[in-house]
Chains A and B, each alone.
Chain A
Amino acid sequence: MAHANSTSHGSNYLNHEKGLWSWLTTVDHKRIGLMYLATVLTYFLVGGIFALLIRLELFTPGGGNLITAQTYNRFFTYHGAIMVFLVIIPAIPGSIGNFVLPMMVGAKDVAFPKLNLFSYYVYLAGGIFATLALFLGGADTGWTFYTPYSIRTSGAVILVVFGAFIAGFASILTALNFIITIHKLRAQGQSWSRLPLLCWSLYATSVIQILATPVLAITLALLIFERVFKIGIFDPALGGDAVLFQHFFWFYSHPAVYIMILPAMGVISEIIPVFSRKPIFGYKAIALASFGIALVAFIVWGHHMFVTGQSELANFVFSLLTMFVAVPTGVKVFSWVGTMYKGSLTFNAPMKYAMGFIELFTIGGLTGVFLATLPIDVHLTDTYFVIAHFHYVMVGGTIMGFVGGMHYWFPKVTGKMYNESSASVAFWLILLGFNLTFFPQFIAGAQGMPRRYWSYLPEFTLMNQLSTIGSWFLAVGFAWTAIYMIRDARKGPKAGDNPWGAGTLEWQSPSPPPHDNFPVDPVVTTWPYDYRGIKI
């Protein structure tokens, strides 16, 4: 495995070894990151197509213009399951995290490179099982697989559940790798207080993945056994308790929301100081807030069950605790804004996406406080308001952070620069398309339109049509992003080693980086957000 550092002949991780086989068997974290990226984006396309079809069906109030009710149920199940388990959860840690984290700490690789490759294949296997289900009977349970319906309905529920179960192990192994990498492989001089904020975020994410994912694993295993052997833990008809499933499920799936958003917050924390040319404001507060979020993540799951008949005391406590989420989150948002204050701002694509993140995530986060408020939640449960809320957080937050990160590290990964005006067009399409798609859903939801319905009352027509039109703008924006990114990765102008003038270690290495990441083992002497002496 030991290779001489040779950058003098233009050798980098992309041309270090050649051929498809060298990619499929690579243990290089950078290549594995790109494999994750390709797979995640493929599933993003698939999940996105289902979303477009759902929106198209909802263009008119009467059901059945495009697809039957049964097909509709399957489509929203696939959309949710694919986007949650195969796209948003692995998106940033799997691709950007794998590529960037070891470089940020100045390491040659993650702690366990073979395990890293293994986790990619585990993820892929999970995806394949879930995809097989599409052709072998489908599933119409929604991505939450609520019992007892998920036990009794026909179709290939087991395959989808098994896919999510397997993908969970990939998530656990990536988290394990990151934790040990951060602990053991930091470069000389990189004390904890010099650790980049993306690493802090991914660390907090990993802790949640380690603690929450196994609970989902056993819950999904129980669900499979319940379907196959009627073991009767969740189905009331067999002596079990259906709400226990919801407790178990949300004990994972609520923290999973933070698994999805924390990495994006890390990306934003890297982008904002670089494009403000100012040290990040509140470094320690941002780092600690990640762990604050991780901690609170585990004690709020009951807010998904306000209407299941759990005790009023539990409802009250969960409602109160849920509002605490807003505290560390607010600390982050204010710190980002504080960083920009009196900074020297430039609005390249990464910064545009960071701005988009702050705008959309703030709307998503604040509507989360609405939903944490008991009486309001009782009114809004299972309406489009909830749909709009979590799309503002998941797409407006995580996907904005993900796409912003893809632009930010594009020159490092490819060695080329993307075209700024192409990126600008895509950004505005995505931002406007997103708001057009999801803002009307807040209104329709507040007026009482239920989620997961195939047809709706005529008074919701306008809001649904706006939403559907917005989805086309979103689709065009993402498609255009894919087109110019592929174009510029091949034919874009050469990017320098540090085009943004960033201070984290990955920018000290050539673009694209050599196989071993750094020509010389880096030694850290400064804080990563100190831009004095860095020329652009």
Chain B
Amino acid sequence: MGNHGQVTPGTYHHGHHWKNAHEEFEGAKQGMWVFLVTEVLMVGALFVGYIIFRAMYPEAFHEAHKLLNPKLGLLNTFVLITSSWTMVLGVSSIQRGQVSRCLAYLMTTVGFGFVFLIVKYFEYSHKIHEGILPGGLYTYKELAMDKVPLFFSLYFMMTGVHAFHVILGMGLITWVMLRVKRGEVSKQFFTPVELVGFYWHFVDLVWIFLFPLLYLLG
């Protein structure tokens, strides 16, 4: 974003329409914050939907949430929080010009992303196998209660949208790694690493709200 200069290690030329490289960096950062606001509003609608339906059907939601595995949810919470930590370390290493260390941290972050998705895969496939599915597809016999399928409509949409963002984030981190490798990102110009970091923290933050709302609230 906003990078229009030719980048060679050591000397970075900012885009011609910016006053200087610092202004360009600040502008890109502001842009990312604005983008994250749109993300908050997007998942916000789902949270509002959850809150409304939960208030309308508290018993059904209470029974339904027991079908989720809070241990796996907790594991994934740890995985993502740790990945945010490695992301921060990646950003701070490129700011110090430690290229290989930065790459290692970014790689670890992507690795944690994979672990998260694998855990999610086991959760999803177990639910699909049991017929614990959204709305019209719900066939689980042990808990045949009105509005329980609605809980899983929300569960699958919310965690699905989140997982999609995790995958996007992993893609973005991989793209940043390639740029670091090519020397396009350096001590002088680390905007992409920092901004993708913002994005990754946002994705974690969403999960930190999803976990208690879906898995813990009884």
Contact = CB atoms under 8 A, between A and B. Distances in A.
B49 A239 contact: no
Nearest to A516: B16
B137 interface: yes
Interface stretch (A53-61, A175-183, A194-202, A309-317): A175-183
A380 interface: no
B45 A176 contact: no
A225 B157 contact: yes
Main secondary structure of the interface of A (DSSP, over half): helix
Contacts of A2: 16
Nearest to B31: A180
A113 B28 CA distance: 12
A113 B39 CA distance: 22
A212 B34 CA distance: 13
Interface stretch (B85-93, B146-154, B169-177, B197-205): B146-154
B30 A184 contact: yes
B217 interface: no
B55 interface: no
B16 A233 contact: no
B38 interface: yes
Interface of B: 1-2, 4-5, 15-18, 23, 26-28, 30-31, 34-35, 37-46, 49, 52-53, 134-137, 146-147, 149-150, 153-154, 156-157, 161
Contact of B134 (A3, A229, A237, A244): A229
Contacts of B35: 172, 176
A231 B27 contact: no
Interface in A27-60: 27
B135 A231 contact: yes
Nearest to A217: B42
Given A113-B15, A233-B154, 11 more contacts: A112-B2, A113-B17, A185-B27, A212-B41, A214-B38, A214-B42, A215-B41, A219-B45, A229-B137, A231-B157, A232-B135
Q: Which 8 A-B pairs have the closest CB atoms?
A: A232-B135, A230-B136, A214-B42, A108-B17, A238-B135, A214-B41, A231-B134, A184-B27
A238 B157 contact: no
A31 B196 CA distance: 30
Interface of A: 1-3, 27, 107-109, 111-115, 172, 176-177, 179-180, 183-185, 210-215, 217-219, 221-222, 225-226, 229-233, 235, 237-241, 244, 248, 251, 516
B34 A232 contact: no
Contacts, number: 128
Contacts of B15: 1, 113
B157 A233 contact: yes
Contacts of A184: 18, 23, 26-27, 30
A221 B1 CA distance: 26
Contacts of B156: 231
Nearest to A109: B17
Contacts of B41: 210-212, 214-215
B110 to A, nearest CB: 24
A172 B1 CA distance: 15
Contacts of A172: 35, 38
Nearest to A206: B34
Contact of A232 (B23, B38, B44, B134): B134
24 contacts: A107-B17, A108-B17, A111-B2, A112-B28, A113-B17, A114-B1, A115-B1, A180-B27, A183-B27, A185-B17, A185-B18, A210-B37, A210-B38, A214-B44, A215-B42, A218-B46, A222-B157, A229-B137, A231-B135, A233-B157, A235-B136, A238-B136, A239-B150, A251-B45
